[in-house]
C-alpha cells in the first residue's frame, strides 16, 4: 500500500518528523510518500493560516493523482483541505483532527482536547460540532504563550502541554486526552506515556483509521 502524508504547513522538518512517526504506527509493508505545502505558514496558528493551508492542500490534487496512492492523510489538526480532497479523490482521505476526535468520542468517556494554538480555539470547537464529537468533551485547553514560540522550544512545549494535561485530569475530570497538532506529534507521543490516562495521538489515530478503511473494517 502507498500512503501519502500531507503536511499543510511549509516546514519540511515537520514533514520528516511526522512521516517517521507514521512509519512506526503503520504496517511495515506500507510505502510512505510525503508532500509539504509550498505556500502558507511554518505553523498553522490562526484562522488565516488555516484558510491558506486549506487552499494549498486542495491545490495538490494533480500531484496526488500522479502519485497513484491508496490513501491520504492530512496531517494538521484543523484538517485543512480535507473535504476538498474527499470530493475529488477516489481513495480514502483522513484528517488527523477528525480521526482523533472520532476516536475519543467512540470511547464514550469524558475527554479533553489540548492544543497550543489559542487563535484556533473556536475553529477547533466548530470541528468537534461538525463531526458530532462534542458530547463527551470536558474541556478544550490551550497551552499558555505564543504558539510559534512554544513550538520552537521543545522544553517549553513539553512543560506547557503537561500543565494542560494536569488541569484536564485533576480539575476537569478527563479520562481521555487528545493532544492536538501535527507539529507537536513527537512531544505528544512522549507525554502520552506518562499521562496516567488514555491519550489519543492524532497522527496515530489517523494511521489506524486508514488501516481500517483499507482493510474494509471501517465505514468511510
Please provide the DSSP assignment of 49-61 as one string.
HHHHHHHHHHTTH
Torsion of CA 162, 197, 17, 116, to 10 degrees: -40
40 with 116, same domain: the answer is no
> Residue 220 domain-assigned?
no
pLDDT of the residue at 130: 96
- Residue 119: burial class (beta carbons within 10 Å; 0-12, 13-18, 19+): middle
Domain around 136: 98-201
Please tell me which residue, 186 or 43, carries the higher pLDDT value. 43
- Residue 37: burial class (beta carbons within 10 Å; 0-12, 13-18, 19+): buried
Domains: count for the chain: 2
Residue 7: give its domain's CATH number: 3.40.50.12500
14 with 42, same domain: the answer is yes
108 with 177, same domain: the answer is yes
80 with 132, same domain: the answer is no
105 with 197, same domain: the answer is yes
Q: Answer yes or no: are the C-beta atoms of 96 and 22 closer than 8 Å.
A: no
Across the chain, what does the average pLDDT equal? 92
Please tell me which residue, 153 or 107, carries the higher pLDDT value. 107
In this prediction, residues 193-213 reach a mean pLDDT of 91
Using one digit for the tens of pLDDT, what is the confidence trace for 59-97? Answer: 999 999 999 999 999 999 999 999 999 999 999 999 999
106 with 192, same domain: the answer is yes
Using one digit for the tens of pLDDT, what is the confidence trace for 63-73? Answer: 999 999 999 99
> Residue 28 domain-assigned?
yes
pLDDT of the residue at 178: 95
90 with 109, same domain: the answer is no
82 with 119, same domain: the answer is no
> Residue 10 domain-assigned?
yes
89 with 102, same domain: the answer is no
**Which pLDDT band holds residue 151 (cuts at 50, 70, 90)?**
confident
73 with 124, same domain: the answer is no
For the entire predicted model, the pTM comes to 0.93
Amino acid at each position: 500500500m502507498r500512503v501519502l502524508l500531507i503536511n499543510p504547513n511549509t516546514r519540511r522538518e515537520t514533514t520528516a518528523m511526522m512521516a517517521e512517526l507514521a512509519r512506526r504506527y503503520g504496517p511495515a509493508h506500507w510505502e510512505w510518500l510525503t508532500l509539504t505545502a509550498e505556500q502558507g505558514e511554518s505553523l498553522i496558528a490562526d484562522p488565516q493560516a488555516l484558510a491558506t493551508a486549506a487552499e494549498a492542500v486542495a491545490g495538490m490534487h494533480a500531484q496526488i493523482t500522479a502519485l497513484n496512492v491508496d490513501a491520504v492523510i492530512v496531517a494538521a489538526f484543523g484538517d485543512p483541505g480535507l473535504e476538498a480532497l474527499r470530493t475529488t479523490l477516489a481513495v480514502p482521505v483522513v484528517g488527523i483532527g477528525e480521526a482523533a476526535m472520532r476516536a475519543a468520542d467512540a470511547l464514550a468517556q469524558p475527554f479533553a482536547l489540548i492544543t497550543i494554538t489559542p487563535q484556533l480555539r473556536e475553529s477547533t470547537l466548530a470541528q468537534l460540532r461538525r463531526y458530532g464529537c462534542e458530547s463527551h468533551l470536558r474541556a478544550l485547553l490551550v497551552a499558555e504563550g505564543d504558539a510559534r514560540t512554544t513550538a520552537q522550544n521543545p522544553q517549553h512545549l513539553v512543560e506547557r502541554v503537561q500543565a494542560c494535561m494536569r488541569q484536564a485530569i485533576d480539575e476537569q475530570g478527563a479520562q481521555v486526552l487528545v493532544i492536538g497538532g501535527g507539529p507537536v506529534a513527537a512531544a505528544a507521543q512522549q507525554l502520552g506515556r506518562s499521562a496516567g490516562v488514555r491519550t489519543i495521538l492524532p497522527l496515530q489515530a489517523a494511521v489506524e483509521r486508514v488501516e481500517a478503511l483499507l482493510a474494509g473494517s471501517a465505514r468511510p
